[in-house]
């Protein structure tokens, strides 16, 4: 069963470009993970400081492998002072149809 989620984060004033750069680098690394099915980064058209990341992994094991990556740890540490609350907000999804 695919593991899917989305994560949101709002860049603090003056940090949008840095957050976008970090997310771009993270996306490249995550997409190279063998269990990654989807990793897409968006901003809202009317709120460019708000980032929305859609993620899907082959299964729970692939998601757990993703959570243990060095590039993920580096990203999470880097955004601590760049986004509201110091981290992304994650919502896990359950497929309906």
DSSP type of residue 67: H
In this structure, the strands spanning 3-10 and 89-93 are antiparallel
Query: What pLDDT was estimated at residue 19?
Result: 98
Dist. CA 67–CA 84, nearest whole Å: 21
Query: What pLDDT was estimated at residue 58?
Result: 98
**Residues paired with residue 39 on neighbouring β-strands, in sequence order:** 55
Are the C-beta atoms of 75 and 67 separated by less than 8 Å? Answer: no
Render each residue's pLDDT in the chain as its tens digit; 97 residues.
999 999 999 999 999 999 999 999 999 999 999 999 999 999 999 999 999 999 999 999 999 999 999 999 999 999 999 999 999 999 999 999 9
Dist. CA 25–CA 71, nearest whole Å: 9
Query: What pLDDT was estimated at residue 39?
Result: 98
pTM above 0.75, yes or no: yes
């Amino acid at each position: 069963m695919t593991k899917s989620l989305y994560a949101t984060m709002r860049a603090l004033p003056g940090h949008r470009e840095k957050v976008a750069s970090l997310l771009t680098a993270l996306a490249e690394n995550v997409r190279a993970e063998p269990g990654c099915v989807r990793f897409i980064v968006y901003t809202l058209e009317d709120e460019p400081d708000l980032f929305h990341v859609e993620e899907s992994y082959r299964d729970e094991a692939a998601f757990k492998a993703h959570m243990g990556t060095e590039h993920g740890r580096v990203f999470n540490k880097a955004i601590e002072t760049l986004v509201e609350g110091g981290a992304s907000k994650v919502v896990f999804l359950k497929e309906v149809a």
